[in-house]
Structure 1
Amino acid sequence: MNKWALNLIASVLALLFIFPLIWMLLVSLKPDGTNVYQLTDWVNWADLTLDNYRKVITESNILRWTWNSTVIGAVTTLLSILLSSLAAFAFSKLPFKSRGLFFVLIVSGLLIPTEAILIPLYETTLHLGLIDSNWAIILPGLTNPIGILLLKQFMDGVPKDYIEAAQIDGSRNFRLWWNICLPLTKSAMVSVGIFYFILSWNNFLWPYLSITSEENMILSAGLPTFLSNNTMSLNMIMTASGIAAIPTIVVFAVLQRHIVQGVAMSGVKG
């Protein structure tokens, strides 16, 4: 297929994906009660206003929810990268009995749907007194084995000569991980970190069940609560959705290359 045909197809697909975002933005900037259903409404910018944004920000906890999502996502990402890289280093570079069995058991966690463990997870969180706290969301988020699987693939590519040379110099396991494996897998860790952050940001079901107070909700769980209270106002719904989309759009624009790399990592062998 010619290059111009591929570019044309890509442009059409891009327009199809960006069309809902443009419609959402226009509806959010229109006065409450005004819809954008006709072409004349699209090109009529005379009545654009920011009143909807002021109303949503002042009459809801959307900024608080955004802050909670950011904090929980950042903490979950940092701790997950740390634990995943340590586990990946152990499975990749440290010989111990039943290493293959333990690795299979951990990776098999990907086969268990979240819905299957909601009841025992809720009971455990309740007995630990973590319900309606940030740790109720952070701690279960650290058990995702996808980071271990991906980072192990990259650590398998670290030459054994580097490890053996460092061991001859007296380096122990922690130093091997810190001084050799981490620097050589830095790009992979950035991609895995973005992947973890996206999973945390989009997490809905468990935060919706474990957080009971409105001020402690994250954005993915708080937004449906706001939408259910404003079902008759399409403008307010689109305004709240636009505010919620801004952080993800900014993150994608800044880290686009790493996000694409992270998506492609699942098919890379070490």
Structure 2
Amino acid sequence: MTSPDVFNLLAGRAVVITGAGRGLGAAYARAIAEAGAAVVVNDIDVDEANEVAAAIVKAGGQAVAHPADITDWSQADALIERCVSEFGAIDGLVNNAGYFSLALPQDQQPDPLRRTIDVNLYGTAACGVLALRRMVDRGRGVVLNVTSGEQMGKTASAIYGASKAAVATLTYSWAEDMRGRGIRVNAISPNAHTRMATVYQEFVGGEAGGQNIGLAPEVNAPLVVYLLSDLSTAITGQVVRINGAELMLCTHPGILDPVLRRDTWTVDAIAEAFATDLAHRQQPAGVHRVRTEFLD
């Protein structure tokens, strides 16, 4: 149950949540409805979408189910339009739907590779641009994408991680595109014990340990409500990660200063640069933390 201090925080808003039939998406949908918004519960599973929407309505909230495959442009468009036709506008989109598969590069098969890209990147991009079209016309709105710590690089998850890194890039670019238009775009990087965690455990076996054990999807929901609300009007273009008791910002890709300069870069000159400077500044792969300092 959402704490009393957020009741009506999203009153009068209408929000689409993709992949909301269970897990994180369902937790987001319930929390957004409890904060006062009308929600469109999307999932490819008809029964699960209907069940979540019905539970929200039974609890006194506003919700409709709209099953759809977001990898189909026309279905994605109909999903966004359903929010407009049902509730008069679309104020928020939570791009939560995702597909998770694991494989070492030499074992990667084409079908899960394609499905991962189709759902995580194409589906997110389709719903995002279709929602942004309506938001630009109104001069207001919030798009909230969902990335993952896997985007930083983790064994056996290159394709999934690449799709989520692409979602982060969508976030950065859309935020710049929408500056000055009354529209904010951010992303969250959640952590919880869901079906994806179970798949990971089954893949790596004993090495998984207690992967995300005890982290319920609901612990991520307050961040979603906050980023959809007017409390976060100064925040855009950010990837925010929540990991149980930890809240953090993720770094953006950037150029590492100082850069090296010379009139012509030959093979020998590049080799010398790495031997004397760049080799010592290589960035570690995988999930790691970067310390930053506040600058005036």
Higher helix share: 1
Q: Which structure has the larger Rg over C-alpha atoms? A: 1
* Structure with greater contact order relative to length (CA < 8 Å, sep ≥ 6): 1
The TM-score range, normalised by the shorter chain, is under 0.3
| Alignment TM-score, normalising by the size of structure 1 | 0.23
